[in-house]
Structure 1
């Protein structure tokens, strides 16, 4: 079902690689199209594997510009032709480009930018956002019609770090779940190491400083949960070499497995006994919702921001201090030893299903 020009929405992102932001945008695009909105999705540098998950009513435009900065002119030409009533972008560099291009259009759409991280906490751990980039983002976000923050903590960070009028910033939860997640969780999985474990601890996270795998590995080393307990790390990233070296130095080689190429982590997560997230900071981590939706208990750091909001102040999972391996180990030990009320976790996960949060996103995107 295709909508009309009066409801035409364009969603812009870098690519459709397998990432949290990309999955959220694909879910949102499918929901909008299914709601009768004329939905267009634009990738600036290339499509990617998640393009296969778009339904037939979403029109995909791949600019294949190679780099985000090379997409400015092609994006302008496409938007001038499509004349959308609303434009939404996600991820910092793409947001800056989208706002700048939209201001040049002869018919300016409503401009919505999605922010997934708290800029107050991201900067100390990353060099991606230099001073010039931060100034550019502040200017862009102040010129957007609406900034959608994925949690209350991110909302406060955008207002403080970028000086955006609080009236122009709204906290909307990620569309972290759809029925496809549950379907993909049922995919066949055969892995001798994983199959023989008595207890399965899983972490799905990029191998980066933000995710603090070092604390997780040290905590797992202190767990003393028996030889039948294993830790599975799913993810790739710049610290892969360091993470593998730490596994070896801690003597955990036989008890830890790292899977770097996996487009369907849900099939591993479905039979996990525990999901652990040891991040230093977050925005609104989708993997916590995905674990809850599959009835898997969760232990997460009480980092800024997102985990506390998703887990409702610890009601639906354990929250531990950032960087404290001993406390993390104790929380993991407790979670593995007590019975799980899976139905209660599943119900909480459904609060973040696209059918639950989609109407709020639809209201935010379409002009009144």
Structure 2
């Protein structure tokens, strides 16, 4: 049995946060002891954590209070037995770097994770260049650094000037999705195409590209947008004078998959995407995907094979290309849900959990 502690700012509705829940639940189900430490509120996906997982909420919603977070986090870690501490997202990286060499925390083995494209993500967050500079210094000076895909590992090494290429632990598909009943879309008679997008409502996600492409279509379409963010008001105010395009906002929800199941296509137009777990999740439940050719979807296609009927890519930001693909795909025969699920089968949670188990044992031995 090993001990694992996940440290990150929050568990709001999002791909990186959902990955933490999936892996943490899988680890505890295999007999390991798992704790999760969050900076802010324990809402969102925290309710999906296995009840055997220890949940610790520091109660600090503003991540800029790094010193205050570090002080409370150090006290939490001092009370927990030695463990592999998996640090995710930049604010957690900066916080843990302040304490990982102090006496009360040095009993633990800290592993720093990157699930973003460091060549572009900084452009979409406040003080992004400064944060990237500081995060790079942390990664260069720490022994254990992990990426969520091979392209991210390569870009980390180049961007952060790392002496070693980070090891890779892949993103996984929630095994619970395989147990859900498949939707018989042939029985649905709505008279319109159903398109869905899932993610934060921020410029990074390219929702404006999707909207512009959908407006060119000569058919009734309902676009369901699942997520929260500053663009919600703008999307809520959208009105199509032709009456063909309807936009439905759901807000952030614990189970976005019910909206994905009813869609003909999931469109993922992100301007920068290190992976894009929602792409795999959509395919796992039988909904084909059209995505921008950022490094995550490109890596997926290289590993799973070229199947444009299941996963089709278009150049980032190219409205015309996306519109032409949508026009064609909405007229094409649908792949079977079983075919979609088989396509993403290589991304099982078991493989990722075994990697964490092996690394926990090896790195703990080195740290002794």
* Runs of 4+ residues over 6 Å off in structure 1: 184-187
CA contact (8 A) 1:175 1:358 kept: no
Alignment of 1:119-138 (within 5 A): 119-131=118-130, 133-138=131-136
Query: Of residues 240, 243, 249 in structure 1, which corresponds to 2:235?
Result: 243
Q: 2:167 is matched with which residue?
A: 170
SS at match of 2:347: coil
**Aligned equivalents of 1:67 and 1:361: distance in 2?**
30
Query: Of residues 45, 49, 70 in structure 2, which corresponds to 1:50?
Result: 45
Relative to structure 1, the CA distance from residue 253 to residue 48 in structure 2 (aligned partners, 3 Å threshold; closer, same or farther) is farther
**Aligned equivalents of 1:25 and 1:208: distance in 2?**
22
Deviations 1:10-46 (A, max 9, x none): 1111122222221111111111112222211111222
Q: Does 1:204 align with 2:193?
A: no
Alignment of 1:24-173 (within 5 A): 24-68=19-63, 69=66, 70-106=68-104, 107-131=106-130, 133-167=131-165, 169-173=166-170
Query: Of residues 337, 356, 359 in structure 2, which corresponds to 1:361?
Result: 356
Alpha-carbon shift at residue 198 of structure 1 (Å): 3.5
Deviations 1:307-327 (A, max 9, x none): 111233643411100111111
Relative to structure 1, the CA distance from residue 289 to residue 280 in structure 2 (aligned partners, 3 Å threshold; closer, same or farther) is same
**Aligned equivalents of 1:36 and 1:19: distance in 2?**
26
TM-score normalised by structure 2 residue count: 0.87
CA contact (8 A) 2:194 2:264 kept: yes
Q: 1:191 is matched with which residue?
A: none
Gaps of 5+ in 2: none
Q: 2:297 is matched with which residue?
A: 307
Give the superposed CA RMSD. Answer: 2.4
Relative to structure 1, the CA distance from residue 52 to residue 248 in structure 2 (aligned partners, 3 Å threshold; closer, same or farther) is same
Q: 1:230 is matched with which residue?
A: 222
Aligned residues: 350
SS at match of 1:174: coil
Q: Does 1:344 align with 2:339?
A: yes
**Aligned equivalents of 2:34 and 2:82: distance in 1?**
9
**Aligned equivalents of 1:186 and 1:296: distance in 2?**
10
